Amino acid sequence: MSEIGIQQEEELKVLKEKLRIAEEMNKKLLTENEQLKKSLNIIHQPEQLNFGEQHFKIINISPENARIDEVDGMQRKATNLNGWQCISLPVDLVITEGIYKIEFVFESNSDNDGRGVGIVSASHEIGYPCDPTDFDNRHKMLNYLGFNGQICYKSERTNGNACFQDDSHTIGLEIDMNQGNMHFFVDNTQQPVYVRGIHESVQFFGWLYFEGSSFIVKSLQRLAEPSSVILEQEGIIEW
């Protein structure tokens, strides 16, 4: 082979190698491009919010003193096994954002006292017995009393909401973490006293006092929009 032919063959080899490298780089770029597209789709994909009824259970903080029963596929009924001691039982759902509404129904309670609902700071440890108005609890637990309708929080007792001292009522708490507010409902009627300034994670809870008394969490839903409205005469509790 002549010197010119050898030179042309070498140049051809160089060109083929450059072509091979270019093709490999092109494949690599195509692969990276597809990966970037997938990443962008994940980033831009709207969050799938689970509105409607939520899965939950009542936490039994003292199995010797309370029983939790399954109703409609969830552990939603709590019964006090020992009387004359206040037992507070939280729902396991920790609320950090969004709008949630819970509904309680009480059974076999004394008409004098012995029932209430509220929210507790998620960082607060509930022991037994646990009266939400005790000094160790009152700054972390807000309590709506059944027998007189008072809202107890810190060292204050605020009147204005309806009582629910018998077993015929449905008590609702609706918390809007977007606004930091919580409103109360009795038999679907919004109550005038509400809470504002909630900017930490919280949990719902119910409490019982008398032996054999119980409550059922009838419903716990995540809402797309709040159902509460502005009332003419409202009372405000600062969280």
Is 221 in contact with 234 (CB distance < 8 Å)? no
208, 143 Cβ separation under 8 angstroms: no
The pLDDT tens digits along the chain (239 residues) read 566 666 767 776 766 777 777 777 878 777 777 777 666 665 555 556 799 999 999 999 999 999 999 999 999 999 999 988 999 999 999 999 999 999 999 987 666 668 999 999 999 999 999 999 999 999 999 999 999 999 999 999 999 999 998 888 999 999 999 999 999 999 999 999 999 999 999 999 999 999 999 999 999 999 999 999 999 999 999 99
Domain ranges in the chain? 1-45, 52-238
Give how far the C-alpha of residue 89 lies from the chain's centroid of Cα atoms, to the nearest Å: 15
Q: How far apart are CA 198 and CA 179, in angstroms?
A: 8
CATH 2.60.120.920 fits 52-238, yes or no: yes
- Residues whose CB falls within 8 Å of the CB of residue 78, separated by 6 or more in sequence, listed in order: 58, 60, 66, 67, 68, 69, 89, 206, 208, 214, 215, 216
pLDDT score of 110: 64
Structure tokens of 12?
């051809």
Q: What is the pLDDT of residue 1?
A: 58
Q: What is the pLDDT of residue 9?
A: 73
How many CB atoms neighbour CB 185 within 10 A? 20
